[in-house]
Amino acid sequence: MNARFLNKVVLVTGAAQGIGRGVAEALAQEAAKLVLVDRASFLPEVAAEIKAATGLADSDVLTVEADLESWSGAEQMVQAALTQFGRIDVLINNVGGTIWAKPYQHYQPDEIEAEIRRSLMPTLWSCRAVLPTMLAQQGGAIVNVSSIATRGINRIPYSAAKGGVNALTASLAFEHAADGIRVNAVATGGTEAPPRKVPRNPKPLSADEQIWYQQIVDQTIESSLMKRYGSINEQVQAILFLASEQASYITGTVLPVGGGDQG
């Protein structure tokens, strides 16, 4: 077993499903102390399954149910982590994902705002909330999960949100490299994942929305040099690399993991 994260306190947002859960499972295999954050009510079940599979002690895994679209949620998350563990070594910002798939002219103003709240604000709030602790420690690593969809179709508000994540990554790294804080991002490509237990958009897709979503799939595959979607594990391994000391001389970088699609 690798132990790159032995005795490291790692905070994972969006940990209940998809890439976030994959990150949590992989970190548990590498002996991390985990703070798993999500607004899904089944997060404790996920934590129990991870502990059973890896042998982590109850005291090594903390779950926090919080809405990271708000500053209060981010504050709650950090305070809970500090109360349990006293420090935060790594923050992995995984909350986000397009809610709707359609050409920009079909988005309503409230939908545009909802996309920005979903895919930019949790990363902004979480970075701000954890920063004082990492400054006091004079060290830490932040990995933001971005997307190659900054260059794509039928999800312009999501693309803009992830472009903001990329800009945040570069600027925060610049601002705090002297404080021993590394900030990087993984721009995920199309990723095969199990059906979500909590869908981002609970309403069934209309006939037009099904066509527009298929256009996203087709464009994603066509833009990839490998002509396929990636696996959750392929994204997870890139995220863990940037979070680890193996990437100790890398900061301010957005790493595309999209089969050759640079985003």
Q: Which amino acid is at 97?
A: G
Paired tokens of 41? 């009510």
Which one of the listed residues 104, 158, 229, 249 is annotated catalytic? 158
Strand (E) or helix (H) holding 19: helix 18-29
Does 249 participate in catalysis according to the annotation?
no
* Integer Cα distance of 49 and 43 in angstroms: 10
The single residue listed with the structure tokens 């925060």 is: 172
Whether the CB-CB separation of 152 and 189 falls below 8 Å is answered with no
* Integer Cα distance of 184 and 175 in angstroms: 13
Q: Could you give the angle at the alpha carbon of 122 between the alpha carbons of 127 and 27, nearest 5°? A: 70
- The catalytic site residues sit at 158
